[in-house]
Amino acid sequence: MKLACLMLAAATGLAADVRVVEEIIAKVNNEIITRGELERSRRQLEESLRRQGASAAQIQQALEEADRSALRERIDQLLLLQRARDLNINVDSEVSRYLADIQVRNKISEPDKFQEFILQQTGMSYEDFRQQVKDSFLTRRVIQQEVGSKIVIPRSEVEKYYQERKDEFIRDEQVLLREILISTQGKDAAGVAAAEKKAKELVERARQGENFGNLARDNSDAETGRDLGYLGAFKRGDLRKDIEEIVFAQGKGYVTDPIKLDHGFLILKVEERSTAGLQPLEMVENEIMEKLYTPRMEPALRAYLTKLRMDAYLELKPGYVDTGAAPGKDTTWQDPAQLRPETVTKEEVAARTRRKRLLGALPMPGTRISAGAPKISVD
């Protein structure tokens, strides 16, 4: 009796000390989603909005919207990442190029300083940021391969849209420009001369066929460098008079000589040029394709994710809702605590221990023992 009381007291004490370190709220095939994951994503969003200067009301609204879709989006992501593994998709080279581009654009040569920069800008460790980038590339590749590639816009539909909505494509004369800026701020005469020399070399490289966007990304001191030098579209009257006279007199693909500004040397490329009036179909075809593609993409993607849910092993803890749930799919939570434990005798436990030792010493058919390691690996 005393022994039983002591055992009960010990068990009660242990139970009182039990703390939930991380709560599992969903199971998606062989992976889990925890409440902590969603809370961390929420904090990251809040910190990002604060860095962008959002007001308290804007932050609260964004967080409320994110809360409604957080679990659905995390399930979507896990299903797409799992599908990427099934398809053996590899994006390591794209991720490395993306991170290298960020490093080059921000002119950070030392790896340690670049990792500090990532932490300051995102609030995430470099490893976590790299994984987030990789996950993003993988999910986009799956979406494009499995969904986007199957959406076909017939040429006849593009032509029909153009003929029925020609008023949408009546435009003023305009040019679409990219830029490279080589700064001279804070430089002496020798520095200014070096900047001019560099600008002239870049013009020559661009005219010889090098990609202007890449040259802007790798060399421009303007903020647009991170967007491959993209400036946007300009009508007559939007630009400085001397610059306007240059770019509106030239055709698509023209690269200017370096233009001297107070703070540097500017190089412009005419990416597109359109005359006033109704634009020809060839000029606006990509714009129309985008208009027709976008409304098809969202329902097609949602249908694809619903199919992935139907084929998945998916459980949700009570109180949590997947707003993208597949109709009729049973996602009832199976509580491990409700499973009855197997009862065995001391003799059976002793026999199992002896069998385990035997298996560790002798090979079995269909297995091999790695040299120098006691672990058995199954072929």
Strand ranges across the sheet with 264-274: 230-235, 174-183, 264-274, 259-261
pTM > 0.75: yes or no: no
Is-contact 331 27, C-beta < 8 A? Answer: no
CB 143 within 8 A of CB 79: no
Cα–Cα distances in angstroms (integers) from residue 315 to residues 328, 333, 337, in the given order: 13, 5, 15
Beta bridge partners of 182: 265
Find out whether 26 and 75 touch, Cβ atoms under 8 Å.
yes
Per the CB < 8 A criterion, the answer to whether 217 and 225 are in contact is: yes
Within 8 A by CB and 6+ apart from 241, the residues are none
Per-residue pLDDT of the chain (379 residues; tens, 9 = 90+): 444 444 444 444 544 455 556 899 999 999 999 999 999 889 988 988 888 888 999 999 999 999 999 999 999 999 999 999 999 999 999 999 889 888 877 888 899 999 999 998 888 899 999 999 999 999 999 999 999 999 999 999 999 999 999 999 998 888 999 999 999 988 999 999 999 999 999 999 999 999 999 999 889 988 888 889 999 889 999 999 999 999 999 989 999 999 999 899 999 999 988 888 998 898 889 889 999 999 999 999 999 999 999 999 999 999 999 999 999 999 999 865 554 444 444 455 455 444 433 333 333 333 333 333 333 333 3
What's the per-residue H, E or C state across 220-248? CCCHHHHHCCEEEEEECCCCCHHHHHHHC
Residue type (1 letter), 360: G
The candidate with the shortest Cα–Cα distance to 308, out of 16, 81, 9, 98, is 81
Helix (H, G, I), strand (E, B) or coil at 314: strand
- Do 301 and 143 meet the contact criterion of CB atoms below 8 Å apart? yes
What angle is formed at CA 295 by the lines to CA 290 and CA 296, rounded to 5 degrees? Answer: 95
Question: Looking up tokens 């027709």, which residue turns up?
Answer: 292
How far apart (Å, rounded) are the C-alpha atoms in residues 35 and 216? 43
DSSP track, 356-370: HHHHHHS--TTEEE-
Q: Which of 227, 226, 231 is nearest to 266 (CA)?
A: 231
Long-range contacts of 213-217 (CB under 8 A, 24+ apart): 213/178, 215/180, 216/178, 216/179, 216/180, 217/101, 217/104, 217/105
